[in-house]
Structure 1
Amino acid sequence: MLIVARYWRTKDRRYINDEECRHILQGLSDLGRQSALWMAGRIVVDRSAWETFGKSFFASTWPQEVVFQTGETTEGIIRLAHELPNLFRKIIQAVRDYLTPIEHPDVVPYSLREKMTDNLSLI
């Protein structure tokens, strides 16, 4: 619900702002942040909202401290980008500072291989 409320702020300023949302995300467990990332991905993909929500979410809302960037969140970000092949390059460029090593990196590139061969160098 946190990320939905942050998304609603794009239309109604009474909802939670970037700083409030980021503070809450910082207080969550890694699993909680993964769930929030999943919801942000659903909004971006289902509502075609990369330009109107996703880009600003990662620039201003997502915790920027290294301690909050994990292999699991990296996988979530890459899955989000994978679901929008026409925006893959833009998304990866926008979030590249949040990407960290993945524990089992062979799994992610393998799933991207068929659709994204041009863009694998960005991972």
Structure 2
Amino acid sequence: MHRTATMSQRPQRSRLPAVAPHCAPLRALAWALTGALVRATVLVLAAAEPAGAAPDITGTWSVQTGEVSYRVRHIMHGAEGISREVRGQATCAGGVCMLALSVPVASFVTRDPDRDRDMRAVTRAAQHPMV
């Protein structure tokens, strides 16, 4: 007996572009990059927060140099992508600091051109060039 699957029974396809099997862990890369920026934000804000009776920090600073990285783990190996093209600005007033960072997705390199190409495809770097 031959049965036809209905629409609800068919397996769901991923909305992300297909990549080589060894790059499957890169599907979570966008979240990893966002997490890296959040961690960087927390570290800068913690460092800029006045301690005890320290004077109020007021001012605006531009990011001159910086580094943001992501890590991907796979059964066979891991990889780390690094970007040194961090742009941003920190503003502090009244004991409150705000930090805005952005990094071009295409600027992350892992020393493997094929992996870098797959990462840009998975994260849709052409449509979403900054993180």
Structure ID, larger Rg: 2
TM superposition score normalised by structure 2? 0.26
Higher strand proportion, which one? 2
Tell me the TM-score normalised to structure 1 length: 0.27
Higher-RCO chain (CA-CA 8 Å, sequence separation at least 6): 2
